[in-house]
Amino acid sequence: MKAAIVLLSGGLDSATVLALALEQGYVCHCLSVDYGQRHRAELDAAQRVAKSLGAQSHRVVKIDLNGFGGSALTDSRIEVPIGGIEPGIPMTYVPARNTIMLSLALANAEVQKARTIFFGANAVDYSGYPDCRPEYVQAFEAMANLATRATDEGHRLSVISPIMHLSKAEIIQQGVRLGIDYSMTVSCYKASEDGLACGQCDSCRLRLAGFEGARVSDPTRYQ
Amino acid sequence: MKAAIVLLSGGLDSATVLALALEQGYVCHCLSVDYGQRHRAELDAAQRVAKSLGAQSHRVVKIDLNGFGGSALTDSRIEVPIGGIEPGIPMTYVPARNTIMLSLALANAEVQKARTIFFGANAVDYSGYPDCRPEYVQAFEAMANLATRATDEGHRLSVISPIMHLSKAEIIQQGVRLGIDYSMTVSCYKASEDGLACGQCDSCRLRLAGFEGARVSDPTRYQ
């Protein structure tokens, strides 16, 4: 049985990544990171998704990034933009977040003797985040192989981003094909405690446009 | 004023790195990571070192790696070896620890607008840890520049390991030249709560041999 670590945020993208990893026959250990994000409902969503899709295990690692600030997602003094998507790196970018989460996945992979990390980065719909670029993921994988016992033990670690080049509509089509109930997932940056979406933040806008593009009715629970 | 993030463990090596960074004129923001290590006295030591040497700030980020296990430093069921240094990767290796700590330093650097991270990796005395190799540090730096806004903003992030190629004796000689009181530092993997060293673990053996090699009397406080 081949084991994999799947980074699971509770959103639509990583739920689809988990379903794709399971379809490929991986035994999936899911990892979510509680980094003090304001949309904490996504952590409950991650738990629902892991259980519902059939992950082997689900672990939440807590780390305090609030002290660092610098992002609308971790600093309550910075507002989440709701006026529509603008060019450039958005205020919701959390400094080095994906690097921290992939590093934790790497630690987990080494302990679980998993040689594969699944990561839901996407370069199509949202190119504003530097740590979602394909060349970033490749550089992380190269570093990971030098960081760990992997090379010494004669094998390689892989970081797989199966939705990197899919549009949001194509991601949703994959998920629908695999039977995901997307009402379980929470994408909204301003989600209420019980996971209801605002419909106005960038993440809500991209998600809604994705369902429209996929010609799938939007199951999102709005406020 | 050029700002730097300095990873500070509380041990001898990173204290010397901080002194070298300060000598080079950097305004130093120190970062320590409370990852549930059994030798928690090193975090108190880090605080003493940061204050004594004149760091601008010192932050401790808490993260729970105990749940991952897999190392004598984070899993209380695995004993710290005290029989002498053996070939290969030791049981005190913490999976992906340096990658996690450098990732946190990267986040901190981005928020503080620091373009330099100082990191006390050393390849000479202790080559058993994969994440202390020069090629690992280079790979992390390459990844870091793709992970962040750095490239988009037209500058580069550097990860500097000033003691990478120094022997423990040479590190101590540098520190003595810069006036470090090494009795403040704690290197022991089995240190008592008040920072007294065991004298038997690999870290204690390397440290003692370093003072002997440097012909400096050992200021370590033993149990």
Judge whether B139 is closer than 8 Å to chain A, CB to CB. Answer: yes
User: Looking at the partner chain, which of B64, B93, B99 has a beta carbon nearest the beta carbon of A103?
Assistant: B99
Contact at CB, A106 and B93, closer than 8 angstroms: no
User: Looking at the partner chain, which of A95, A144, A151 has a beta carbon nearest the beta carbon of B148?
Assistant: A95
Judge whether A60 is closer than 8 Å to chain B, CB to CB. Answer: no
User: Which superfamily does A3-214 belong to?
Assistant: HUPs (3.40.50.620)
Q: Of A30-44, A78-92, A198-212, B121-135, where does the model show the most confidence? A: A198-212
Contact at CB, A68 and B142, closer than 8 angstroms: no
Q: What sign has the CA pseudo-torsion A115, A120, A124, A129?
A: negative
Averaged pLDDT of chain A:
89
Contact at CB, B147 and A130, closer than 8 angstroms: yes
Q: What sign has the CA pseudo-torsion A137, A87, B106, B43?
A: negative
Q: Which of A170-184, B2-16, B183-197 has the lowest mean pLDDT?
A: B183-197
Higher pLDDT, A45 or A37: A45
User: Measured between beta carbons, which residues in chain B are less than 8 angstroms from residue A107?
Assistant: 65, 68, 94-97, 99-100
pLDDT of B181 over the 90 cut: yes
Buried b (16+ CB within 10 A) or exposed e, A112-141: bebbbbbbbbbbebbebbbbbbeebbebbb
pLDDT of A36 over the 90 cut: no
SS3 A101: helix
- A69 pLDDT band (50/70/90 cuts)? low
- Tell me the ipTM for this assembly: 0.89
Residue B189 pLDDT: 87
Query: Distance (Å, rounded) from C-alpha B80 to C-alpha B65?
Result: 17
Contact at CB, B61 and A64, closer than 8 angstroms: yes
Contact at CB, B95 and A148, closer than 8 angstroms: yes
Contact at CB, A144 and B61, closer than 8 angstroms: no
- Tokens of residue B194, six digits: 């008040």
Q: Which of A20-34, A112-126, B207-221 has the lowest mean pLDDT?
A: A112-126
Contact at CB, A130 and B107, closer than 8 angstroms: no
User: Looking at the partner chain, which of B62, B95, B147 has a beta carbon nearest the beta carbon of A111?
Assistant: B95
Q: Of B69-83, B164-178, B188-202, where does the model show the most confidence? A: B164-178
Among chain A residues, CA nearest to B95: A107
Q: What sign has the CA pseudo-torsion A122, A126, A127, A130?
A: negative
Judge whether A1 is closer than 8 Å to chain B, CB to CB. Answer: no
Percent above pLDDT 70 for chain A: 93
Residue A175, H or E segment: helix A168-177
Of A19, B71, B222, the closest CA to residue B207 belongs to: B222
Of A162, A171, A166, the closest CA to residue A207 belongs to: A171
CA angle A139, A87, A64 (to 5 degrees): 55
Q: Which of A118-132, A158-172, A175-189, B31-45 has the lowest mean pLDDT?
A: A118-132
Higher pLDDT, A131 or A82: A131
Contact at CB, B97 and A107, closer than 8 angstroms: yes
Residue at token pair 């981003």: A161
Query: Distance (Å, rounded) from C-alpha B73 to C-alpha B189?
Result: 7
User: Measured between beta carbons, which residues in chain A are less than 8 angstroms from residue B65?
Assistant: 107
Higher pLDDT, B88 or A58: A58
Residue A40 pLDDT: 79
| Beta-carbon contacts below 8 Å between A and B | 133
Of A79, A116, A30, the closest CA to residue A200 belongs to: A79
pLDDT of A91 over the 80 cut: no
Best residue in B58, B99, B153, B156 to probe A by mutation, most A CBs within 10 Å? B99
User: Measured between beta carbons, which residues in chain B are less than 8 angstroms from residue A64?
Assistant: 61-63
- Write the pLDDT tens digit of every residue in A97-144: 899 999 999 999 988 889 999 999 998 765 677 888 999 999 999 999
Contact at CB, B111 and A147, closer than 8 angstroms: no
Rounded to the nearest 10 degrees, the angle between the axes of helix B134-147 and helix A97-112 is 140
The mean pLDDT value for A54-59 works out to 95
pLDDT of B88 over the 90 cut: no
- A77 pLDDT band (50/70/90 cuts)? confident
How many residues in total does chain A contain? Answer: 223
Residue B50 pLDDT: 97
The mean pLDDT value for A38-60 works out to 92
Residue A202 pLDDT: 86
pLDDT of B69 over the 70 cut: no
